[in-house]
Chain A
Amino acid sequence: MTEFTRREWLGSSAATAAALSLGLAPSPLRAAAPATGKQAPGFYRSKLGDYELTQVADGARTFPMPEGFIVNLPKDQALAAAEGAYMPKGQVTIPFNPLVVNTGSKLIVIDTGNGLGAFEATKGAAGQMNANMKAAGIDPNAVDIVLISHFHGDHIGGLKGADGKPVFPNAEIKVPAAEWAFWTDDANQAKANGFNKAQFAGAKKNLDGLGDKITKFEAGKEVAPGITSIATPGHTPGHVSFVIASGNARILVQSDVTNIPSLFLTHPDWQVVFDNDPALAVTTRHKFFDMAAAEKAAIIGYHFSFPAVGHVEKDGSGYRLVPAAWNPTI
């Protein structure tokens, strides 16, 4: 057969045996199964040396792309790029993926999601971290350390519950010293406008009353067993990423060096509206991902699609994410 069409296949199948007669008819009386309308619990586990990592989805926000979402790109091109990345027409989806690290002796959370207030405000689309931690069997009371990458609301919004009480009552909250310095400076706040203005108010609200639990760390130091912070400024002044190492295994936790990879990893020079110092963020992005690609490092990205882990490769003038294949066993 040189060339064949569906019709031909169909035609030749006419010679096959006639349909077998039906034996046992299924009972027609069984009730219809209702659709569940509910997604599976959003957590995912992997091993890193002796450590166990649990990605915990905080959900995602989908919203009409605002003017200036990509600061240095005309909106029509930004919309076309988003549509090319299979986002709903005219919209952007940004997922949020905190991480839990179990070292065997310490339970460590890296970033906290949008918080339970956001859960209500978004009708459950975001702020899912608590529910998904519970599904994963992780007790917030058992968390020893909370590491914060930077002070945007989607990273620190989950430090306190809707009642204002600490969500991780027994945890030391460790924050980048440079980040603390920037966001607690009244002069900086007075100068802020737009996105930053809201973030100053949010940081105050999210951190207020937690003072005695908070300690500050300098970038470049080990901040928890096997976890070292790396200064990756630009997105915010004190923004940090982390390296987690156990045995010979290591993984980079990039935080927000890039926002959604389908736009900003593929086009590292595009500036997302959330970058505080866009030029510095671009420089950091190139430096970080050149290193990650050269090292073939596994990377966790806060705004990657759940389970938010993969590898980054150089691709022309940009990079591409190769998402890790889901592992059904760990």
Chain B
Amino acid sequence: MALTRRAALLGSAAAALAPALTITSGWAAAPAAGKQAPGFYRYKVGDVEVTVITDGVIRMKLPETFVSNVKVDEVKAALADAHMSTELFNNTYTPVVLNTGGKLVLIDTGVGEGGFNASKGTAGQFLNNLAAAGLKPEMIDTVVISHYHGDHMNGLIKADGAITFPNAEILVPAREHAFWMDDGEMSRAPAGRMQELFKNNRRVFAGEVMKRLRTYEWDKEVVPGLLAVGTPGHSSGHTSHVLSSGSAKVYIQADVTHVPYLFARHPGWHAFYDQIPDMAEATRRKVYDMLAAEKMMVQGFHYPFPANAYIEKTSTGYHETMVPWNAAI
């Protein structure tokens, strides 16, 4: 009888005698892994190695007012066009780590350990994926914050309030910091989201975080090769960063747009998250016109991982072309 796997599976005597069958691991059905691949991705910008790290996703029921100036049906139609769920909105978060001259610079933190616990691990994956990328929180030299929304800076501290990156200096946009630390602004903040943001920012920007904090100005380098560019509107001091090395550049936009399949395609749509919607739109158009004209790569915090794209102008807005995954950097 021919020695086949079928015979082996049937437990025939002939099969049992075959020495090859002493390897039994192959016979049982392989269990499903049930786990996504580690969520990091690398690319080079000149001499700088960029590690994109996903912080995961929070799925929420699409609010009726998600886009303040169009009907929710239009939003649902755009989601359907993107083959995304029209009921649940997928909010993904994508910090980046730059290795520039041996220094590790993190831009934005994700929702943090608190967010991990609250979402049961769908979000707040940053530290796990950082470890998968072979990096440790204590290796981070500098944390650069784009703006003071929880998904960008709550990860500065852990669930118990201890600092997450014990050796890092924390660099924040001066204008953003001034706004959220201003008691007058806080007293004038409308109830609901804005007041909650003030409360959260006063919670995180305290204690050890403040001891390590330094403000930076727009149009200056935050660290060598990383230029801070004012892109206000999403928040009053919202800041993007242009990383340059040699002739290579990437525009690390933070939240100039939220998900591209809604807000790059429709730059006139005002996301629920935009603090000063008209200014956010003007900023968005200006930045995206520049990205399209210069064919400059963009790294978008709320783009689908690895969140790296080129932008083209269309008759109604912009279209993003995701940069093809590079299997060997």
Cβ-neighbour of B125 out of A93, A306, A328 (below 8 A): A328
Decide: A37 and B218 in contact? CB cutoff 8 A: no
Decide: B35 and A45 in contact? CB cutoff 8 A: yes
Cβ-neighbour of A102 out of B23, B32, B167, B329 (below 8 A): B32
Decide: B305 and A39 in contact? CB cutoff 8 A: no
Decide: B83 and A330 in contact? CB cutoff 8 A: no
Decide: B169 and A45 in contact? CB cutoff 8 A: no
State A124–B329 Cα separation when bound (angstroms): 11
**B177 contacts chain A at the CB level, 8 A cutoff:** yes
**A152 contacts chain B at the CB level, 8 A cutoff:** no
Chain A residue at smallest Cβ distance from B232: A9
Decide: A141 and B101 in contact? CB cutoff 8 A: no
Decide: A141 and B83 in contact? CB cutoff 8 A: no
Decide: A93 and B324 in contact? CB cutoff 8 A: yes
User: Shortest distance in angstroms between B34's beta carbon and chain A's nearest beta carbon?
Assistant: 7
Interface string of A36-78 (1 = CB under 8 A from B): 1111111111000000101001111000000000000000000
Cβ-neighbour of B102 out of A1, A33, A296 (below 8 A): A33
Interface positions of A from 84 to 140, Cβ below 8 Å from B: 86, 93, 95, 102, 104-107, 124-125, 128, 135-139
Binds B, one of A12-20, A174-182, A235-243, A268-276: A12-20
**What is the number of residues of chain B that contact chain A, defined by CB distance less than 8 Å?**
83
Decide: B5 and A170 in contact? CB cutoff 8 A: yes
Binds B, one of A23-31, A186-194, A198-206, A226-234: A23-31
Decide: A23 and B122 in contact? CB cutoff 8 A: no
User: Shortest distance in angstroms between A130's beta carbon and chain B's nearest beta carbon?
Assistant: 13
Decide: B214 and A41 in contact? CB cutoff 8 A: no
State A86–B212 Cα separation when bound (angstroms): 41
Decide: B102 and A19 in contact? CB cutoff 8 A: no
Total contacts A-B at CB 8 Å: 213
Decide: B321 and A37 in contact? CB cutoff 8 A: no
**A327 contacts chain B at the CB level, 8 A cutoff:** yes
Decide: B327 and A136 in contact? CB cutoff 8 A: no
List of A residues within 8 angstroms of B321 by Cβ: 86
Interface positions of B from 119 to 170, Cβ below 8 Å from A: 121-122, 125, 132-135, 139, 141-142, 167-169
Interface string of B88-114 (1 = CB under 8 A from A): 001010000001011110000000000
Cβ-neighbour of B90 out of A104, A137, A325 (below 8 A): A325
Decide: B49 and A328 in contact? CB cutoff 8 A: no
Decide: A306 and B325 in contact? CB cutoff 8 A: yes
Decide: A311 and B34 in contact? CB cutoff 8 A: no
State A4–B283 Cα separation when bound (angstroms): 9
Cβ-neighbour of B30 out of A10, A24, A142, A323 (below 8 A): A142
Knowing A10-B218, A104-B32 touch, does A41 contact B25 (C-beta < 8 A)? no
Decide: B323 and A59 in contact? CB cutoff 8 A: no
**B275 contacts chain A at the CB level, 8 A cutoff:** no
Decide: B33 and A137 in contact? CB cutoff 8 A: yes
Interface positions of B from 190 to 235, Cβ below 8 Å from A: 210-219, 229-230, 232
List of B residues within 8 angstroms of A310 by Cβ: 83
Knowing A35-B99, A40-B38, A139-B25 touch, does A323 contact B322 (C-beta < 8 A)? yes
State A43–B229 Cα separation when bound (angstroms): 35
Cβ-neighbour of B122 out of A31, A311, A329 (below 8 A): A329
Decide: B214 and A22 in contact? CB cutoff 8 A: yes
Decide: B230 and A328 in contact? CB cutoff 8 A: no
Decide: A328 and B57 in contact? CB cutoff 8 A: yes
Decide: B324 and A305 in contact? CB cutoff 8 A: yes
Decide: A1 and B322 in contact? CB cutoff 8 A: no
List of B residues within 8 angstroms of A9 by Cβ: 218, 230, 232
Decide: A40 and B26 in contact? CB cutoff 8 A: no
List of A residues within 8 angstroms of B82 by Cβ: 322, 325
Interface positions of A from 201 to 251, Cβ below 8 Å from B: 212
List of B residues within 8 angstroms of A124 by Cβ: 328
Knowing A10-B230, A23-B212, A38-B42 touch, does A33 contact B139 (C-beta < 8 A)? yes
User: Shortest distance in angstroms between A241's beta carbon and chain B's nearest beta carbon?
Assistant: 20
Interface positions of B from 47 to 65, Cβ below 8 Å from A: 49, 51, 54, 56-57
Knowing A13-B230, A24-B211 touch, does A325 contact B304 (C-beta < 8 A)? yes
Decide: B26 and A139 in contact? CB cutoff 8 A: yes
Knowing A34-B102, A40-B38 touch, does A54 contact B33 (C-beta < 8 A)? yes
User: Shortest distance in angstroms between B123's beta carbon and chain A's nearest beta carbon?
Assistant: 8
Decide: B322 and A6 in contact? CB cutoff 8 A: no
Chain A residue at smallest Cβ distance from B168: A26
Decide: A17 and B178 in contact? CB cutoff 8 A: yes
List of A residues within 8 angstroms of B211 by Cβ: 23-24
**A172 contacts chain B at the CB level, 8 A cutoff:** yes
Knowing A10-B230, A39-B42, A41-B38 touch, does A307 contact B49 (C-beta < 8 A)? no
State A57–B329 Cα separation when bound (angstroms): 14
Decide: B38 and A136 in contact? CB cutoff 8 A: no
State A202–B237 Cα separation when bound (angstroms): 60
Cβ-neighbour of A23 out of B51, B135, B177, B210 (below 8 A): B210
Interface positions of B from 279 to 299, Cβ below 8 Å from A: 279, 282
Q: Which of A10, A104, A135, A139 has the most CB of B within 10 A?
A: A10
State A307–B327 Cα separation when bound (angstroms): 11
Knowing A17-B174, A40-B41, A325-B84 touch, does A59 contact B327 (C-beta < 8 A)? yes
State A105–B121 Cα separation when bound (angstroms): 28
**B273 contacts chain A at the CB level, 8 A cutoff:** no
Knowing A13-B174, A23-B211, A57-B325 touch, does A32 contact B217 (C-beta < 8 A)? no
**B40 contacts chain A at the CB level, 8 A cutoff:** yes
Decide: B305 and A328 in contact? CB cutoff 8 A: yes
List of B residues within 8 angstroms of A306 by Cβ: 324-325, 327
Q: Give 13 pairs: A residue, B residue, CB < 8 Å, sorted on A.
A: A16-B215, A16-B237, A17-B174, A17-B178, A20-B214, A34-B102, A39-B327, A43-B37, A52-B33, A60-B327, A95-B325, A306-B324, A326-B304
Report the 5 A-B pairs with minimum CB-CB distance, sorted nearest first: A32-B102, A23-B211, A325-B304, A141-B26, A305-B324
